[in-house]
Structure 1
Amino acid sequence: MKPNEILLRCFAERKEGYWQAFCIDLCLAVQGDSFQEVKSKLHAQVTDYLQDILEGEDRPYAAQLLSRKSPLPIVAKYHLISAMNHIHRWKQNAFAFRDAMPLKLAS
């Protein structure tokens, strides 16, 4: 397994006094007052989402829920922010980042 296969693509942006963060691979979103807050909230949401799919009552629907993608405009915004972060021209009001998918060994 390649390392990028277990990383989820995410971004956060500041908008009208608050922050919002998105995981484009699972179509999840959160809001908060700071970048660190939304990054932490998104990580917790990803963890809960995956635990429900892999160990909870949503397990029969795992294939559909794990392949759920964000709408094209959100995916495009991730790629724009990611590119701008790479060339260091983006203002400090948007960040692309990757979040590690919580994995555990099967028993």
Structure 2
Amino acid sequence: MNPKELIVKCYAKQEEGEWVAVCLDFCLATQGSSLDEVKRKLEEQIAFYVDEALQDQEYGNQLLARRAPITQWFEYYFIRLTNMIYPNTSVVFDEMLPLRLA
């Protein structure tokens, strides 16, 4: 891994005809009509969130340490496990963001 990159754990699933994507490492979520759309929207949301956190001298470290609830982590690992057995309508993925180091 390049030390100038940040890798965060994410998953996406279909719920009632919509796709929902979740970033576990920052407790962020988005929804849309397709997998590509939610992945793009989540990537943009993560980039904005990290950029804002890096600029916030007082609360930046707390923002970067914010994690999703344990139930969402269980769901991530359940999806990961079931996808190894048979593919379904949920996916796990990592987002890699370049960090701008000052």
The answer to whether the Cα contact below 8 Å between 2:22 and 2:29 also exists between their aligned partners in 1 is yes
Alignment of 1:39 with 2:39, yes or no, is yes
Equivalent position SS for 1:60: coil
In 1, the alpha carbon distance for the partners of 2:16 and 2:10 equals 20
Equivalent residue for 1:94, pick from 90, 96, 100: 90
Q: Deviations over 1:38-85 (max 9, x none)?
A: 000000000000111112xx3320111111010111111011112222
User: Is the Cα contact below 8 Å between 2:11 and 2:92 reproduced in 1?
Assistant: yes
Residue 2 (structure 1) shift: 6.8
TM-score, scaled to structure 2: 0.89
Q: Which runs of 4+ in 1 moved over 3 A?
A: none
Aligned counterparts of 2:29 and 2:12: Cα–Cα separation in 1: 9
RMSD: 1.8
Corresponding residue of 2:71: 73
How many angstroms apart in 2 are the aligned matches of 1:19 and 1:105? Answer: 33
**Scaled by the length of structure 1, what TM-score is found?**
0.85
Matches within 5 A, 1:1-107: 6-55=6-55, 58-85=56-83, 87-91=84-88, 93-106=89-102
Question: Which residue identity is paired with 1:97?
Answer: F
Q: Tell me, which stretches of 5 or more residues in structure 2 are unaligned?
A: none
Identity %: 40
How far apart, CA to CA, are the structure 2 residues paired with 1:105 and 1:24?
23
2:68 counterpart SS class: coil
Aligned equivalents of 2:71, 2:2: Cα separation in 1 = 27
